[in-house]
Amino acid sequence: MLNLNNIFFENSKKTRGASITLLGLSFLGILDALYLAVSHYRGVPVSCEVLTGCSTVLSSEYAVVLGVPLAVLGLVYYLGIFLSTALFLDTKKQMFLAVALVLPFFGLLASAFFITLQVAVIEAICFYCLISATITLLMACVSTYVIITGKKTSI
């Protein structure tokens, strides 16, 4: 279990900086997922200049889970991190910090699964999916930093 007493610093510059970083990264994730979700519902092809596999991946049977586009699930994921981080910064309540720090690890597992699926099964790679995976990896690194430095710092 995540021991918040070891990582919560009400006035810590490190925790505040990490939280602001999480806000920025999750906002970028929101933009990425929102673009894909809007494109899905409008039926507009996604512009993919860097890699050519976007339309293949986004139109595959794996792009929708239980009737919900993965882009919408990604949007909910990024909004969850963004809102919990913003609430932590506003209220200093530890439960919001816990959510903001733990969610990226679940996102990292999902990203690894979906990137593997793209490479091994779909045989195409979506640039926007790679952006999302990179954002999630960076958020997991920030979370790890906060957790590790929190355990080494006396309060």
User: What CA dihedral angle connects 54, 55, 61 and 66, to 10 degrees?
Assistant: 80
Measure the CA–CA gap between 80 and 108, rounded to whole angstroms: 15
pLDDT at 16: 86
Determine the 3-state secondary structure of 9 from DSSP.
coil
Q: Where are the domains of the chain?
A: 13-148
Q: How confident is the model at residue 10 (pLDDT cuts 50, 70, 90)?
A: very low
CATH code reported for the domain at 13-148: 1.20.1440.130
Residue 41: C-alpha distances to residues 72, 95, 123, 126, 127 (Å)? 10, 34, 24, 18, 19
pLDDT score at 53: 84
Length of the chain equals: 155
**Mean pLDDT rounded to a whole number for the chain:** 88
Res 3: pLDDT: 53
The DSSP bridge partners found for residue 64 are 69
Residue 107 near residue 136 (C-beta atoms within 8 A): yes
Q: What are the residue ranges of helices labelled H in 1-155?
A: 13-42, 54-58, 70-91, 94-117, 127-152
**pLDDT greater than 80 at residue 17:** yes
Average pLDDT (105-119) is 96
User: How far apart (Å, rounded) are the C-alpha atoms in residues 8 and 146?
Assistant: 9
Q: Is 92 helix (H, G, I), strand (E, B) or coil?
A: coil
Note the pTM of the prediction, 2 decimals. Answer: 0.88
pLDDT of 67 higher than 50: yes
For residue range 87-101, what is the model confidence (pLDDT) as tens digits?
999 998 989 999 999
